Chain A
Amino acid sequence: MAEPLLKVENLHKSFGSLEVLKGIDLELAKGEKIALIGPSGCGKSTCLRCVNFLEIPNQGHIYLDGELFGQKKVGDQYSQMSEKELARQRATIGMVFQGFYLWPHLNVRDNVAIAQIKVNGMAKSEANDLAMDMLKKVHMDHKSEEFPERLSGGQQQRVAIARALAQRPKLLLFDEPTSALDPELVGEVLNTIHELADEGRAMMLVTHEIAFAREVADRVVFMDGGGIAEQGPAKDIIDNPQNPRLQSFLGQMLERN
């Protein structure tokens, strides 16, 4: 088997006395799309945030493209990376948040371009061109001069996706990208993600949109109580769930929709 793009090894995370992740092992092949589903509080968002070290795991390791992520290994000892090294690694993973978090003092184009200028030292004109290309991808190039507050939630999220794409990421993380949106705006964002998925990008997606996960993801991972309860090909898992907890979860989600 080829080297996986992402390898999550025995991931543990606690907040105070609350153990949120109890040892997660997960692999993601190049070009593979994984959807993480599960009841709220099951640890799926925390898991995603540990992948790019926005949360520092208490135990376990992340490997991206075979390279240890966020940590250094000297002999048998693992130690925290410096912030600078960590930042360089983070730049290779794109992330899209539930709350968009566009920077309100920058217009749409600058939101997409600034990291390329400040982090990668790209020339301003080049970064602007890149930003416009990325905005075209998410069909937001006509709003490049607008400020984020003037956009709808769906438009803001598409700009946030363009911002992540501009990093030319090896892996894209989506943390409930449509949960903060009004129902009528969900479609445009899902369409955008769908187009990216069709390009063969590797992505990891935390979502409550079960039908979307079934359609887009290669593999669905059902998390429950801080661990992986069941995983497998998307259609098998969702059409024919084995785990009783997964059955009742899917039942609830279908009822809600």
Chain B
Amino acid sequence: MIEFLSVYGENWSTWQPPMVSAIWVTLALTFCAYILALAIGLLVALGRMSNSAMLRAICKGYVEFTRGVPTLVILFLIYFGLPGFGIVFDAFWAGVIGLGIGMGGYIAEVFRSGLQAIHFGQREAALAVGMTPFQSFRYIMLPLAIRIVLPPMLNMLILILKDSSLCALITAPELMLFAKDLASTTFLPMHLYLLVGVVYLALSLPMSLVARRVEARMQAGMSR
């Protein structure tokens, strides 16, 4: 055990700088992909409730697509497939777009179920006390929707963080690729993969702790 741990001590000075920059790439990747997925999710959720049958069908098709096709395949299509059509992204942005598209469908479903869970009568009650449609959205519908949607949204963020490791397979310089590259030159795969495993846990556990807190708090205010 001590022998195993001492390897970390010996290599720390060479491993630490590239690892820290890889962590930043992982965080940037996660953050950008999350923003993209939120934007896609909101648009698609609204599209699925629109009056145009065509738009509804397109949005439903997109949700079905992301539900059925692995994120890794989407990443490969974008990074390796799109250049065949003359569209080239570098690994980072291919990762952002692939993760964003892959998760957007799930987020759209979360938004949709959140909006559907709100009873129409609550909006009418807001109008009846003299709120404008905007005020009823701002003070009643939106806070309600956020309460329903926030916990699953935080879980989505954790999923994206974990899925960002897939970008190693399209050579985005994130945490998993750092371990993979170094493992092939140092022949210390156990040390390196355990190390990044601990880093992923250190990043995701606080998030899931927050998610659970939020969920418990929201449920204290209302249960459905």
Contacts and interface: CB of A to CB of B under 8 A. Distances in A.
Contact of B135 (A87, A92, A99): A87
Interface stretch (B15-23, B34-42, B122-130, B192-200): B122-130
Contact of B119 (A83, A101, A105): A101
B147 interface: yes
B132 A83 contact: yes
Contacts of A94: 128-129
Interface string B141-157: 00110010000000000
B68 interface: no
A249 interface: no
A95 interface: yes
A61 interface: no
The 7 tightest CB contacts between A and B, nearest first, are A91-B130, A115-B129, A104-B222, A101-B125, A95-B128, A101-B121, A87-B132
A163 interface: yes
B128 A54 contact: yes
Nearest to A98: B121
A63 interface: no
Interface in A80-120: 83-84, 86-95, 97, 99, 101-105, 114-115, 118-120
A167 B144 contact: no
A119 B130 contact: yes
- Between B124, B128, B135, B140, the greatest number of chain A beta carbons within 10 A of the residue's beta carbon is seen for B128
Given A87-B135, A118-B135, A147-B222, A103 B129 contact: no
B130 A87 contact: yes
Contacts of B134: 83
What is the size category of the interface that chain B forms with chain A? Answer: 20 to 34
B184 interface: no
Interface of B: 119, 121-122, 124-135, 139-140, 143-144, 147, 220-224
B135 A103 contact: no
A contact patch SS: mixed
A23 B132 CA distance: 28
30 contacts: A83-B133, A84-B132, A87-B130, A87-B132, A87-B135, A88-B130, A90-B127, A90-B128, A92-B130, A95-B125, A97-B121, A97-B124, A97-B125, A101-B124, A103-B122, A103-B126, A105-B221, A105-B222, A114-B139, A115-B126, A115-B131, A118-B131, A118-B139, A119-B129, A119-B130, A119-B131, A148-B222, A149-B222, A160-B125, A163-B125
Contacts of B125: 95, 97, 101-103, 160, 163
Given A99-B119, A104-B221, A104-B222, A91 B129 contact: yes
Given A114-B139, A118-B139, A119-B130, A149 B223 contact: yes
Contacts of B126: 103, 115
Contacts of B135: 87, 118-119
Nearest to B139: A118
A19 to B, nearest CB: 22
A175 to B, nearest CB: 10
Contacts of B127: 54, 87, 90
Given A87-B135, A147-B221, A147-B222, A103 B128 contact: no
Most B CB within 10 A of own CB, among A91, A92, A101: A101
Nearest to B130: A91
Contacts of B222: 104-105, 147-149
A28 interface: no
B128 A52 contact: yes
A167 B119 CA distance: 23
A164 interface: yes
A42 to B, nearest CB: 21
A167 B135 CA distance: 16
B221 to A, nearest CB: 5
Given A99-B119, A101-B125, A119-B135, A167 B130 contact: yes
A104 B131 contact: no
Given A87-B130, A99-B121, A105-B221, 5 more contacts: A90-B129, A103-B144, A114-B139, A148-B222, A164-B128
Contact of B143 (A88, A97, A105): A105
A173 B221 CA distance: 29
